[in-house]
Structures are given as structure tokens and as C-alpha cells.
């Protein structure tokens, strides 16, 4: 099939590459000329595990193309995917200007039937708005389909190639046939392509993200309670997760969810409920808990130093909002950095992939290390903010020689409490007892 993808961010580029992988002819369009030039030269603008191999293979085999010329990209395309940003707009509702603007541009160019697919996360009623744009600017027939994306950054290729499910919202029979054909190679193991109306499909996406965010905020509250009552959240997590009705996944407490989606999507759904005179109480609490969680982490740190962190040197392990990505959008690490700097502390940060994005964003206000051990040199404490696998089994002997004090604040619960007791580290994690309180004297 001939496909056009408008927008080559995390979603558009993964979608385009993975659709080319099953034999489709895919042209990706972006307004960012620098990005397009990079991709035309065979360079990936993002870090996403497993993407590089597929990206190069499909470029070499001439199934994957990049351009900033919308007209040439959509001319022969049967299906046009909109993978454009939907950032928080006024009052937190989704800003549809990218999506509706692109719809208008496309409407002014097309000369034959097209299936227009909204891959971006968009509020209920957007398919109708997009259809209205086409009705206004062209007489050519189109079917506007909602096809939300459920991939996770860091495992995006795997998620796209083997999705748990594919949701397609359409009432147009021709579009339904084309979408079934397009996705058939991805559901050969039997996972469903679930067809529904456009509105239900649009809401499904927000409901999924909001439910997952709710799970995380719930566990963060359980973790906070664990600290007060002397329970261990890891044990509670295992205890409840083995119940199939609850499930083992997405029960990890931490310093709050970040990323480009959960924060904006929970907010957008709450806003959308409000617009419909519905007070979505749970969502408001989910957001409140999430905002508090990163503050709790910084407060614990400050309390340890008697409220004064001025001149302290902190080694930060992890800057990305989650491991296996270079994405720092809404990363809790950015909040922590900001608060530490406000308190007069010094920071030496390390992240395997996100360091350049942080350098670009905040520059020389903090120092950067070339590896995680280098960051520890002379630091008063180590702060773990992203659970990269390279941090999981570090050389503790080496850490002891590098750190000025054996103090770790772990926002991701990477280490075993007994091990830290044996090692004599002051170890403060989430929802578990604080280990080796006596070490505090050394700080």
C-alpha cells in the first residue's frame, strides 16, 4: 500500500518505519527541514532501541522516504497518517492547531479518495472537526479514521510490530477494509484489531493513558503510606500484583510519571470532562499526587541536610523521563535539578542517551559526566532519577571510593535493602525503610 505519514516524531517515524517493514511504500513528511535532511542522509533524529536497523533496511530497499514536500508525499498515498503534536493548549485541553492545520493543507491538495488517519492523541469529536475541514476545503471524498497509538517510548518498535491490540474508529466501510488489510501482518498472533466508532476510539486512548497514570499515582500514595507505617512497598506490590485482576505491570512507585503523554493526556481528559460539565474527581487527584511525588523526593533530601543544601554536590544518575529513551519532556529530573539549583547545590549529571537534550535545554548551569562513575567523584550524595539498566548492578566498591559520603537517594528503588545495610550506605528510597540512618552523621 502507498502511505504518507505527516510528522516524524516518536510516533510518526516509528509508524512509518514499521509500516515500510511489512512491504508498504511509505513517505514521511516533516516541516522541520533539519530533521528531514538528517533522515534523508540515513541518520535517526531520536534514540529508540531497534529502530535503526529497520530504518536503514527500509531506506536501502526503497520503501521508506523522507521529504518536506507535502504535495509529493500525499499525491499517490491511499492512507495519510497524521502523527502531529497535540500539546496542552488553553486550560490544559489538547491544542488541535497542528492537526487541523495539516488537514486543511491536505484538503487543498488532494484530487482522489483518501483515508485520513488521526494517529495523534486527540479529544472526542476531533474526527468530526477534521471531517468538517475537508468538507470546507475540498469536494474530494475522504474518510477520517481515528487510530490511536499505544506504543511506549523505549520499546516503541516492539509495541508497534506486536501490539496488544489495534483500535480503529471508523464507520466508513472502504476505510475499514483498507485498515484491516494494512494491519493484518501485525496481528497474526491473534491480538485483536478492534473496530468501533470514531468517538469511542478517541476516548479509548485517553482512558488507557489515564488508567495507567492512575495506577502509578495509586502506588505512589501506597508507597508514601508504607514509609509512615513501616511497610515495604516492594512487598505490597508483589502481594497485590499477583492478583490477575490487578496485574503485575505499572505498579512501580517512583518520583512521579513524566513524558510527553501521561501528564498532558490526563490533564486533557480532565479538561474535556469539565467542558462537558463532568467533574472527573479521580483524575484531579491523580494529577495532584503526581505533582506532589517529585516534591516529596526533594523534601526528603533537604530534610536530610537540615533544610540547607547550599554548596552540596549531587551526582544525578538518569535524566530521561524513563529508561531507553533520550526524551526529557516532563522528566521529573528537570524538576529535581531546578529545585537543587534554587537551593544553591551543585549538580553533576549523567544519562546514557538524554544528556545532549538536557545540555541543549539548560546548558552550563550544571556539569555533565561522561559515565555514571565519573559523576560520583567527590559528590556528597548520589540521586537516582531514571532506572537505566546500567545502574542496577554497579560496582559498589568503586562507588565507595568515589563518593565523598556513602549517601544514596533512590527515586526508582533499584537496590536491595539488605545489600545496602551490608554496604553501610545511607539509603533512602521510595516506600521502604531508610537504611543506615547512623551514616547521616557523616554528611
Ligand X SMILES: NC(=O)C1=CN([C@@H]2O[C@H](COP(=O)(O)OP(=O)(O)OC[C@H]3O[C@@H](n4cnc5c(N)ncnc54)[C@H](O)[C@@H]3O)[C@@H](O)[C@H]2O)C=CC1
DSSP 88: B
Q: Which of residues 21-50 bind ligand X (CB under 6 A)?
A: 29-32, 35
- Confirm or reject binding of residue 150 to ligand UGA (CB under 6 A): yes
Which of 3, 4, 5, 9: binder of ligand X (CB under 6 A)? 9
> Cβ of residue 130: shortest distance to ligand X, in angstroms?
13
Cell numbers linked to 50: 531497534
262 binds, among ligand X, ligand UGA, none (CB under 5 to 8 A by kind): ligand UGA
> Pick from 158, 108, 177: which is nearest to 136 by CA?
108
Question: Residue 442: enclosing H or E segment and its boundaries?
Answer: none
- Please tell me the number of Cα atoms within 13 Å of 388 on its side-chain side: 21
Q: Does 15 bind ligand UGA (CB under 6 A)?
A: no
**234 vs 432: CA distance, rounded Å:** 8
Picked from ligand X, ligand UGA, none, the partner binding residue 83 (CB below 5 to 8 A depending on kind) is: ligand X
Distance CA 158, CA 151 (A): 8
66, 186, 206, 321: residue in contact with ligand UGA (rule CB under 6 A): 321
Sheet holding 346-350, edge to edge: 367-368, 346-350, 313-317, 381-384, 407-410, 426-428
Q: What is the size of the binding site for ligand X (CB under 6 A)?
A: 26
Instruction: Return the range that interacts with ligand UGA (CB under 6 A); candidates 63-71, 258-266, 343-351, 428-436.
Output: 258-266
SS3 content of the chain, % helix, strand, coil (to 5): 45, 15, 40
Torsion of CA 274, 277, 282, 284, to 10 degrees: 30
CB of 140 to ligand UGA, least distance (A): 31
Could you write out the DSSP letters of every residue in 131-145? Answer: HHHHHHH--S-EEEE
Burial environment of residue 86 by CB neighbours within 10 A (0 to 12, 13 to 18, 19 or more): buried
Cell numbers standing for residue 368: 555533565
Residue from 55, 64, 145, 153 touching ligand X (CB under 6 A): that is 153
By CB under 6 A, residue 84 contacts ligand X: yes
Q: How far is the CB of 162 from ligand X (least distance, A)?
A: 16
Binding flag, residue 212, ligand UGA (CB under 6 A): yes
In the numeric block, the cell 500514595 is attached to: 221
Torsion angle of C-alpha atoms 80, 83, 89, 94, degrees rounded to 10:
80
Phi then psi dihedrals of residue 123, to 5 deg = -70, 160
Reduced to 3 states, what is the DSSP secondary structure of residue 127? helix
Is 30 or 410 the residue whose CB approaches ligand X more closely?
A: 30
Nearer to ligand X, 33 or 243 (CB): 33
Tell me: does residue 6 bind ligand X (CB under 6 A): yes
From 260, 272, 386, 436, residue interacting with ligand X (rule: CB under 6 A): 260
Smallest distance from ligand UGA to CB 152, Å: 4
Identified binder of ligand UGA from the candidate list 18, 28, 151, 381, rule CB under 6 A: 151
Would you say 9 or 403 has its CB closer to ligand UGA? 9
- Rounded distance between C-alpha atoms, residue 120 and residue 130, angstroms: 12
Write down the catalytic residue from 18, 28, 226, 261.
261
**Strand locations in 86-215 (E):** 114-118, 142-146, 166-169, 193-196
Judged by beta carbon, residue 117 or residue 414, the one nearer ligand X is 117
Give least dist CB 6 to ligand X, A.
Answer: 5
Task: Pick what 209 binds: ligand X, ligand UGA, none; C-beta below 5 to 8 Å, kind-dependent.
Answer: ligand UGA
In angstroms, the CA 389 to CA 393 distance is: 8
252 binds, among ligand X, ligand UGA, none (CB under 5 to 8 A by kind): ligand UGA
Cell of 63: 520503501
- Determine if 259 is a binding residue for ligand UGA (CB under 6 A): yes
Strand partners, 367: 348
Element (H, E) at 64: strand 64-67
204 binds ligand X (CB under 6 A): no
Minimum separation from the CB atom of position 11 to ligand UGA (A):
8
Place of cell 485541553: 93
The site string for ligand X over 209-248 (x = CB under 6 A, - otherwise) reads ----------------------------------------
Q: Is 28 a catalytic residue?
A: no
Decide which of ligand X, ligand UGA, none touches 272; Cβ closer than 5 to 8 Å per partner kind.
none
Among ligand UGA, ligand X, none, the one that 29 touches (CB under a kind-dependent 5 to 8 A) is: ligand X
Query: Among candidates 156, 155, 166, which has minimal Cα distance to 188?
Result: 166
List interacting residues with ligand X (CB under 6 A): 6-12, 29-32, 35, 83-86, 98, 101-102, 120-121, 149, 151, 153, 260-261
Annotated catalytic residues are 261
List interacting residues with ligand UGA (CB under 6 A): 121, 149-153, 209, 212, 216, 250-252, 254, 257-259, 261-262, 321-322
Amino acid at each position: 500500500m502507498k502511505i504518507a505519514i505527516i510528522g516524524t516524531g516518536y510516533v510518526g517515524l516509528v509508524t512509518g518505519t514499521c509500516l515500510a517493514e511489512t512491504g508498504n511504500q511509505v513517505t514521511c513528511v516533516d516541516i522541520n527541514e533539519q530533521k528531514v535532511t538528517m533522515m534523508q542522509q540515513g541518520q535517526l533524529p531520536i534514540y529508540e532501541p531497534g529502530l535503526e536497523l529497520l530504518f536503514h533496511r527500509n531506506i536501502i530497499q526503497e520503501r521508506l522516504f523522507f521529504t518536506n514536500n507535502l504535495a509529493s508525499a500525499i499525491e499517490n498515498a491511499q492512507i495519510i497518517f497524521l502523527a502531529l503534536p497535540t500539546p496542552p493548549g488553553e486550560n490544559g485541553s489538547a491544542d488541535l492547531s497542528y492537526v487541523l492545520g495539516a488537514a486543511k493543507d491536505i484538503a487543498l491538495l488532494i484530487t482522489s479518495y483518501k483515508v485520513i488517519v488521526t494517529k495523534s492523541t486527540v479529544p472526542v469529536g476531533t474526527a468530526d472537526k477534521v471531517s468538517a475541514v475537508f468538507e470546507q476545503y475540498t469536494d474530494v471524498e475522504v474518510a477520517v479514521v481515528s487510530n490511536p497509538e499505544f506504543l511506549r517510548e523505549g520499546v516503541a518498535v516492539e509495541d508497534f510490530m506486536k501490539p496488544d491490540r489495534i483500535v480503529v474508529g471508523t464507520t466508513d466501510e472502504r476505510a475499514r477494509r483498507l485498515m484491516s488489510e494494512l494491519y493484518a501482518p501485525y496481528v497474526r498472533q491473534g491480538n485483536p484489531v478492534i473496530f468501533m466508532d470514531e468517538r469511542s476510539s478517541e476516548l479509548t486512548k485517553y482512558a488507557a493513558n489515564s488508567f495507567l497514570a492512575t495506577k502509578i499515582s495509586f502506588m505512589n500514595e501506597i508507597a508514601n503510606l508504607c514509609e509512615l507505617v513501616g511497610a515495604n512497598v516492594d512487598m505490597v506490590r508483589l502481594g497485590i500484583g499477583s492478583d490477575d485482576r490487578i496485574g503485575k505491570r505499572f505498579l512501580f512507585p517512583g518520583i512521579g510519571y513524566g513524558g510527553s503523554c501521561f501528564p498532558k493526556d490526563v490533564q486533557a481528559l480532565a479538561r474535556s470532562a469539565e467542558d462537558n460539565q463532568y467533574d472527573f474527581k479521580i483524575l484531579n487527584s491523580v494529577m495532584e499526587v503526581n505533582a506532589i511525588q517529585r516534591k516529596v523526593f526533594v523534601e526528603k533530601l533537604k530534610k536530610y541536610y537540615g533544610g540547607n543544601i547550599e554548596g552540596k554536590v549531587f551526582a544525578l544518575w538518569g535524566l530521561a523521563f524513563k529508561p531507553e529513551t533520550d526524551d526529557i519532556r516532563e522528566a521529573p529530573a528537570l524538576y529535581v535539578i531546578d529545585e537543587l539549583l534554587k537551593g544553591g547545590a551543585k549538580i553533576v549529571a549523567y544519562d546514557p542517551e538524554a544528556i545532549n537534550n538536557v545540555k541543549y535545554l539548560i546548558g552550563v548551569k550544571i556539569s555533565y559526566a561522561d559515565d555514571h562513575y565519573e559523576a560520583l567523584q567527590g559528590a556528597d550524595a548520589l540521586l537516582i532519577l531514571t532506572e537505566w539498566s546500567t545502574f542496577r548492578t554497579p560496582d559498589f566498591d568503586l562507588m565507595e571510593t568515589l563518593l565523598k559520603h556513602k549517601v544514596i537517594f533512590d527515586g526508582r528503588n533499584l537496590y536491595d535493602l539488605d545489600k545496602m545495610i551490608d554496604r553501610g550506605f545511607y539509603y533512602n528510597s521510595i516506600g521502604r525503610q531508610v537504611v543506615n540512618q547512623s551514616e547521616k552523621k557523616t554528611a
